[in-house]
Each structure stands twice: as C-alpha cells, then as structure tokens.
Amino acid sequence: MSGETSLTVLLSSMSPVLHEGEYVFCTVDAGHEPDLKEVLCFFREAEGLTLIMRKSLADAKGLVYTFVASWITLTVHSSLAAVGLTAAVATALADQRISCNVVAAFCHDHIFVPVQDAEKAMLALQALSTTA
C-alpha cells in the first residue's frame, strides 16, 4: 500500500487521535544505541541521537529535555510523496499559536504539540478536517 496523495482526501479523512501520556525529545551521544522498546522514535544527527520517548522513562533515565509534548496521530494512511499535508496541519496549528513537530512514518503522520495545547490542537485539526 502506497498511501493517499490527494490533499483534499487526506485532510477530510485525517481523523486525528490524541494518545495518552506525555512525550519528550532528548539527545544522547551518537554512539549510544537505544533500546528500541523504550523509544517511540529516534533520529541520528551529526550532534547526536535524538530520542522521542515517554516523559516518565526519560525522567527515570535522568535524560534532559526542554519540551513536554502530547502526541497526535493522523490516522489516514498518507503517502510519503503526498504534497501539502504537513503545511496544512502546521498552518492550522500556527493560526492557533500552537507549535508542532511533525514526524512522518510509513503509514501515518505524527504531530507533537505542547502538552498544554493538546485539546486546542485537536479542535484545530478537527476543524481543518471538517472544512476540507
């Protein structure tokens, strides 16, 4: 399955889901090999390894973070070649003064927003979907 590419279809059927819990972005040395059962996502950068994980796990490991987020999944199966979904979502959230960090995975897009803005973000995404 390659996923949906029509922006209209993507927006009208994105069906955002808010996951429970708090998530953080941490960084560790590039040589660190994370336990994949402990992290939601990781990315290698020149400066080190970025980990996205539950806040409680980062706290237990003594990892430093500065951003506590809620995780929202757009449940529509979006194609990695789709054009405009990230821009539309970021614009809708920016219009509400909500920062967002987007992670595109094979099947879905995942949005991380400040934990205090989670409900407001869900309303903005649902409104975007309704008007598409």
Position 48: which residue type?
Answer: G
Range of the domain at 81: 7-131
pLDDT in tens, 15-42: 999 999 999 999 988 777 788 899 999 9
Residue 71 within a domain: yes
Q: What is the pTM of this model?
A: 0.94
What pLDDT, on the 0 to 100 scale, is given for residue 81? 93
Look at the chain and report how many structural domains it folds into.
1
pLDDT in tens, 58-108: 999 999 999 999 999 999 999 999 999 999 999 999 999 999 999 999 999
CB atoms within 10 A of CB 36: 8
Position 9: which residue type?
Answer: V
Residue 37 within a domain: yes
For 12, list phi and psi in degrees, rounded to 5: -70, -20
Provide the CATH number for the domain around residue 93.
Answer: 3.30.2130.10
Residue 1 within a domain: no
Position 85: which residue type?
Answer: L
